[in-house]
Amino acid sequence: MPDGSGLPEKSVKTACPYCGVGCGVRMAMQSDMSWKANGDENHPSNFGRLCSKGSALGETLDLKGRLLDPVLDGKNVEWPVALDAAADRLSAIRKEHGPDAIAVYLSGQLLTEDYYVANKFMKGFVGSANVDTNSRLCMSSSVAGHKKAFGADTVPGAYEDLDRADLVILTGSNAAWCHPVLFQRIQKARAERGMRLVVIDPRETETSKEADLHLPIAPGKDTLLFSALLKALSQSGALDQQYVETHTLGYATALARAVELAPSMDRVCEETRLRLPDVKTFIRWFIETEKVVTCYSQGVNQSAQGTDKVNAILNCHLATNRIGREGMGPFSLTGQPNAMGGREVGGLANQLAAHMEFQPESVDRVRRFWNAPHIATTPGLKAIDLFDAIDRGEIKALWVMGTNPAVSLPDADRVRRAMKKLELLIVSENMASTDSMDNAHIRLPAAAWGEKAGTVTNSERRISRQRSFLSLPGRVKPDWWAVSQVAQRMGYAEAFSYASPAEIFREHAELSGFENAGSRDFDISAYASCSDQAYEALDPFQWPAPGGLIRTHGECSTQTHRFFAEGKFYTPSGKANFIAPARPELSVDLSVTYPLLLNTGRIRDQWHTMTRSGKSPRLGRHKEEPFLDINTADARKFHLTQGELATVESPHGQAVLRVNLTDAQTPGDVFAPIHWTGQNASAGRIGALLASHVDPFSGQPEAKAAPVSVKPFQAAFYGFVMSTASLDMTNCAYWAKVQLQDTIGYRFALTSYNGKGANKWMSDLLGVSGTELIQSTDKSNGVFRAAHLIDDRLQAVAYLSPQNDLPSWSWLETLFAKDKLEVLDRRYILAGRSIDGAQDPGPTVCACYGVGRNTLIDAICKKGLITTQALGEQLKAGTNCGSCLPELRSLIGGHDKTAKAKAS
Ligand code: SF4
């Protein structure tokens, strides 16, 4: 913590702002005053490990592109002016149209304290439950599945179970890329104890390549596979008849449905596209292994039948009493750093607060606790319905905090259009420009990671402190403060007089224990009276922590807590419910017009819409452009070639993506990552391609199965520019940008020079006169190369070609670091090759040491380095965070002759 001198101390313990693993981070100040991220060795979620994203956190702290002042109707203003306007306009809309004309859209990136205040403001005082969150898109099907089966949104187990299990099943999870530290924990247990790993995923991923068994299931068919498993369990000794009879309800109905869905193994294999021996092995392993953990993630949740998929998994664990016991249980891996914290405060529209819903007694309890005059009494609109209501003009005011719905929601173009209809759009944001801010009337500069303080909860119910180690820049303020100020101005000064996040946390903890007495799972009332100092020193702890257990604040609770070991659930009967799922169907069928099924997901080195991870040059080099993974046979059919651009179309929108041929993709299925926005690519918003089909129970939209068409993108010229200044690329038919070491790199394509020659077009783009460029045109192939220098220092390099054959730009990067460009350097820039003939290292595989794919292939093929250890010793690859180890192994497997011979 700051010591009052205005300078941070040397080292601050905090939590990673990215995924739901929730790693502890130690930020250490370096002698040059920069910050370096190290894993916190004492944090029970990661024990000192960080992945590539976490390791690069120190590179993402600059203020480039930040929103530093409140903005009202396009003008920078002081906070009181912006807050008065927000309060006056919200009050006027409520008066004229009622409370349900107001909505708030939150984020799993927010801290629990921010979430708590926003939820209390809306549900308790504005009087509307139209509070939803981007976690709706992430794991609301898990929430719905948990509630149906357990009577509460309870994740029963802990990460420790992954250390103790003998079989781990990852379904709908590319954990090697999306939860890397947890995946390394699984890998460690496999290496030490011979634990087996099964991966259920339609794609071959870096996770599935590591598995003992990969089941490349047809999209949407998970329920069928788990129904076949339940049926097999019923006929095997693994079924715990006594547990089922004593502690559950609905088994017979669920089993009857499973038999109906999976009448024979042949039928199951036909529908799931799986091989019979593989299905039999999966079932046999499950039956014969007592300690089984089934982890599921977005591949299960982001589905129009996500809740049924979750319940099909839970059914199998309930049938075998493999729940709440050491080394076994179903385990929902949350995507965002604080998806769980959002659920705890009631950040979903169908929850009230502290794991209470809208039953009259809960509403009354929360009303009394908050002393809330206008408490909402019925659930509000879930995300998709909420934005539909905006489109219809029913919701007039929206406050967006820490998220980017114009990119991340399905049918994103329609969402963007709908947001333009709002009478009042307030956006609380770190960044000055996002796709969702285009039409914001009020922009509030929000504190970013490193500046804000509070708590987050990870996938295993562990609450950790995020601590500030940077001072608030400009006029930036925490979100809880901004909401409290608006609430005070609307007449609720007493209820929103918070002076610190500690005060909010105490209230949140107190509410969790209020009239609880064991009736609700979420209870952290042991911390209801923790002092500011204790809050500051708070060590990570797992909930529940009920008041009777009063803990010594500041001490780390290392005790692992599991739910349901005693077979007591939160349903009215106290028993768990088996759920009979519906027949698995995709929400939309393929057609002649849209013959391919688009799957979407994350990549290893980027996070959501890249506002933070996109700042790191080493993370950007892993995947530099938005891309489409497509099977070679499909590419041939649709006339696509490796490295070309493709137009991807759905009934809802269009994207232009770089083609990546891969037999990891099953014919008929394609994959595209979700990270690119209108800020970093011309047409990379994958949300624009998705329909807003939702799960009937959770309201979570389908993001894994969208029918699309693909065709070659017609371009006349291809180019790249590396520039020290940001460029306006709107005249390019296609462009994508990436942060490089000293420059911003743009790849682009043109349909014409707009009647200009290459020199004029390029000088216009760079904002210089044609004579300021040194340039050359190769007459044999029409390639144009140019550079712009100021006082012999390189400012920009640009290449343009009529063919899609541009060289790597990596060797050019070093030239930007030179104070003075030599004559020879200039000559080689214009010749298009490096002075020393340096090999193009290719896309980065090891982000920590910047080791590229080509370098690694060379080392494997020419130097015979065919183990990860040998690659590590020679090139350092994989020796820091280890996130790239699966890719190193698959490169070795794909390129080492011995490994290939073995495989064949
Ligand atoms: Fe952060 Fe990586 Fe840990 Fe996730 S696994 S919390 S991204 S360091």
* Tokens at 595, concatenated: 């013959």
Q: What confidence score (pLDDT) does residue 556 get? A: 44
* Cα 113 to middle of ligand 1, angstroms: 21
Please list, in sequence order, all residues whose beta carbon lies within 8 angstroms of the beta carbon of residue 270, skipping any fewer than 6 positions away: none
* Tokens at 241, concatenated: 């008849």
Q: In degrees to the nearest 10, what's the CA dihedral of 869, 873, 878, 881?
A: 110
| Ligand 1 in reach of 25 Cβ (< 6 A) | no
Query: Which range, of 439-453, 712-726, 796-810, averages the lowest pLDDT?
Result: 796-810
Q: What confidence score (pLDDT) does residue 880 get? A: 84
| Ligand 1 in reach of 661 Cβ (< 6 A) | no
Instruction: Tell me: pLDDT of 5 over 70.
Output: no
Claim to verify: residue 188 and residue 304 sit in the same structural domain: yes
Cβ atoms of 742 and 816 within 8 Å: the answer is yes
| Ligand 1 in reach of 180 Cβ (< 6 A) | yes
Average pLDDT, integer, range 402-410? 94
Instruction: Residue 614: give its domain's CATH number.
Output: 2.40.40.20
* Cα 460 to middle of ligand 1, angstroms: 14
Instruction: Residue 810: give its domain's CATH number.
Output: 3.30.390
pLDDT one-digit tens code per residue, 316-328: 999 999 999 999 9
Q: What is the mean pLDDT of the chain?
A: 93
Instruction: Tell me: pLDDT of 472 over 80.
Output: yes
* Cα 50 to middle of ligand 1, angstroms: 6
Instruction: Tell me: pLDDT of 586 over 80.
Output: yes
Out of 299, 332, 365, pick the residue that ends a domain: 332
* Cα 53 to middle of ligand 1, angstroms: 7
Out of 665, 687, 712, pick the residue that ends a domain: 712
- Confirm whether 799 is domain-assigned: yes
User: Across the beta sheet with 541-542, what order do the strands follow?
Assistant: 454-457, 462-466, 541-542
Rounded to whole angstroms, how far apart are CA atoms 539 and 542? 10
Instruction: Residue 181: give its domain's CATH number.
Output: 3.40.228.10
Top mutation candidate among 45, 52, 181 for ligand 1, by most atoms within 8 Å of CB = 181
Rounded to whole angstroms, how far apart are CA atoms 145 and 155? 11
| Ligand 1 in reach of 50 Cβ (< 6 A) | yes
| Ligand 1 in reach of 159 Cβ (< 6 A) | no
The number of the ligand 1 atom at minimal distance from the alpha carbon of 25 is 8
Q: What confidence score (pLDDT) does residue 549 get? A: 55
Instruction: Tell me: pLDDT of 463 over 60.
Output: yes
pTM of the entire predicted model: 0.93
Structural domain for 880, as ranges = 844-903
| Ligand 1 in reach of 57 Cβ (< 6 A) | no
- Using 50, 70 and 90 to split pLDDT, how confident is the model at 602? very high
Rounded to whole angstroms, how far apart are CA atoms 305 and 143? 13
| Percent residues over pLDDT 70 in the chain | 96
Claim to verify: residue 399 and residue 446 sit in the same structural domain: yes
- Using 50, 70 and 90 to split pLDDT, how confident is the model at 903? very low
Rounded to whole angstroms, how far apart are CA atoms 312 and 91? 46
* Cα 463 to middle of ligand 1, angstroms: 15
Instruction: Residue 445: give its domain's CATH number.
Output: 3.40.50.740
Claim to verify: residue 148 and residue 226 sit in the same structural domain: yes
Claim to verify: residue 702 and residue 762 sit in the same structural domain: no
Q: What confidence score (pLDDT) does residue 506 get? A: 97
- Ligand 1 atom 4 nearest Cα: 19
Claim to verify: residue 129 and residue 168 sit in the same structural domain: no
Q: What confidence score (pLDDT) does residue 6 get? A: 46
Average pLDDT, integer, range 537-561? 73
- Ligand 1 atom 2 nearest Cα: 51
| Ligand 1 in reach of 614 Cβ (< 6 A) | no
Query: Which range, of 468-477, 838-847, 877-886, averages the lowest pLDDT?
Result: 838-847
Claim to verify: residue 261 and residue 149 sit in the same structural domain: yes
| Ligand 1 in reach of 203 Cβ (< 6 A) | no
- Confirm whether 208 is domain-assigned: yes
- Confirm whether 609 is domain-assigned: yes
Q: Identity (one letter) of the amino acid at 132?
A: D
**Which residue in this structure is represented by tokens 């982000």?**
847
* Cα 701 to middle of ligand 1, angstroms: 25
pLDDT one-digit tens code per residue, 553-576: 444 455 788 999 889 999 999 999
| Ligand 1 in reach of 22 Cβ (< 6 A) | yes
Q: Identity (one letter) of the amino acid at 658?
A: R
Domain count, the chain: 6
- Confirm whether 55 is domain-assigned: no
- Confirm whether 867 is domain-assigned: yes
The number of the ligand 1 atom at minimal distance from the alpha carbon of 883 is 2
| Ligand 1 in reach of 619 Cβ (< 6 A) | no
- Confirm whether 362 is domain-assigned: yes
Cβ atoms of 14 and 465 within 8 Å: the answer is yes
Instruction: Tell me: pLDDT of 838 over 70.
Output: no
Claim to verify: residue 161 and residue 310 sit in the same structural domain: yes
Claim to verify: residue 739 and residue 885 sit in the same structural domain: no
Top mutation candidate among 53, 185, 464, 675 for ligand 1, by most atoms within 8 Å of CB = 53
* Cα 26 to middle of ligand 1, angstroms: 13
Q: What confidence score (pLDDT) does residue 558 get? A: 55
Claim to verify: residue 673 and residue 764 sit in the same structural domain: no
- Using 50, 70 and 90 to split pLDDT, how confident is the model at 899? low
* Cα 336 to middle of ligand 1, angstroms: 10
Q: What confidence score (pLDDT) does residue 4 get? A: 46
Rounded to whole angstroms, how far apart are CA atoms 70 and 76? 6
The residues pairing with 133 across neighbouring beta strands, listed in sequence order, are 106
- Confirm whether 539 is domain-assigned: no
Claim to verify: residue 624 and residue 706 sit in the same structural domain: yes
Q: What confidence score (pLDDT) does residue 897 get? A: 61
Q: Tell which residue, 144, 312, 154, has the closest CA to residue 233.
A: 312
| Ligand 1 in reach of 607 Cβ (< 6 A) | no
Claim to verify: residue 99 and residue 185 sit in the same structural domain: no
- Using 50, 70 and 90 to split pLDDT, how confident is the model at 143? very high
- Confirm whether 700 is domain-assigned: yes
Instruction: Tell me: pLDDT of 691 over 70.
Output: yes
Q: What confidence score (pLDDT) does residue 805 get? A: 86
pLDDT one-digit tens code per residue, 766-788: 999 988 899 999 988 899 999 99
| Ligand 1 in reach of 23 Cβ (< 6 A) | yes
* Cα 500 to middle of ligand 1, angstroms: 27
| Ligand 1 in reach of 15 Cβ (< 6 A) | no
Out of 770, 798, 831, pick the residue that ends a domain: 831
DSSP 731-790: TSSEEEEEE-SSSEEEEEEES--TTS-HHHHHHHHHTS-GGGEEEEEETTTTEEEEEEEE
| Ligand 1 in reach of 181 Cβ (< 6 A) | yes
Claim to verify: residue 760 and residue 899 sit in the same structural domain: no
Instruction: Tell me: pLDDT of 286 over 70.
Output: yes
DSSP 195-207: -EEEEE-SS--TT
Q: What confidence score (pLDDT) does residue 3 get? A: 45
The number of the ligand 1 atom at minimal distance from the alpha carbon of 52 is 2
